[in-house]
Amino acid sequence: MGGMFDPVHDGHLQLAQQVKQLCDLDEILLVPCGLPVHRPRAHTPSAARVAMLELACRGKEWLHVDPRECLSNGPSYTYTSLTAIRAGQRASIFHLLLGLDAFLSLPTWYRWLDLFDLAHIVVVARPGYELTQATLDPVLQLELEKRRVRCIEDCKDSAAGKILVLNVSTPAISSTEIRDMLRNQRDISQFLNKDVATYIRTHKLYQQRGVKFEIN
Ligand code: ATP
Ligand code: MG
């Protein structure tokens, strides 16, 4: 599962937890984006985003941070990372986890159609986003019609290429809203892992508008 995780919040963690359970996955990798191609840069140094993710993973032996994109100087592409992750892991079946907003933006991603050769795609509903003809890019809609399966069992007879849409419920929160709340000195503890909230307070992160960092 990729993302900016700026910062990681309970929406991300619920997504991971529920997909792990429903799809019976062995482990989930959280892959923070280093240098995004399609969106503004992070508001915190990569090292801080990785550190917060590590805190959020503590005690969950099935949840790990993969910092490869943050350690690279080049732009972050899911296609490149997934290819490398596949090459380095013993697992034979991979699932790319996407919230619905990320899925809807898929046709803008580098080599997006080739992602179907690397993994199944599991899409999780996200409050505020809908999967309709009006929101779907026509090419993505064709892929969805061709590849959609109704349950995880239908993903098991092939190594990649299916799309499973899960209607799980996750908290209606985003990192953008959390950053705004922090700037306005509002309490964010209900949306974050408690160690992540402490890290943000200790390091005085997200206090100013518009402070951006490059890779580190
Ligand atoms: P930002 O507001 O900065 O874009 P975000 O909350 O959208 O942050 P990202 O790091 O952009 O978080 O998202 C990483 C992944 O997690 C994406 O696939 C996104 O769809 C998913 N995701 C984030 N928040 C939720 C949520 N509340 N429910 C379901 N999926 C979520
Ligand atoms: Mg987002």
Q: What is the pLDDT of residues 86-110, one digit of tens each?
A: 998 877 899 999 999 999 999 999 9
What band does 211 get if pLDDT is binned at 50, 70 and 90? low
In this prediction, residue 216 carries a pLDDT of 40
Give 151 Cα–ligand 2 centroid separation in angstroms: 26
- What's the pTM value of the predicted model, to 2 decimals? 0.94
> Which residue ranges form the domains of the chain, and what is each CATH number?
2-202 (3.40.50.620)
Give 40 Cα–ligand 2 centroid separation in angstroms: 11
| Best of 174, 178, 179, 196 for a ligand 1 pocket test (most atoms within 8 Å of beta carbon) | 174
- Looking at residue 122, the DSSP 8-state letter turns out to be E
What band does 40 get if pLDDT is binned at 50, 70 and 90? confident
Atom 26 of ligand 1 has which residue's CA nearest to it? 11
Atom of ligand 1 at shortest range from CA of 33: 10
* 13 touches 191 (CB < 8 A): no
* 66 touches 30 (CB < 8 A): yes
CA dist list (Å): 62 to 47, 56, 86, 117, 158: 22, 12, 17, 24, 23
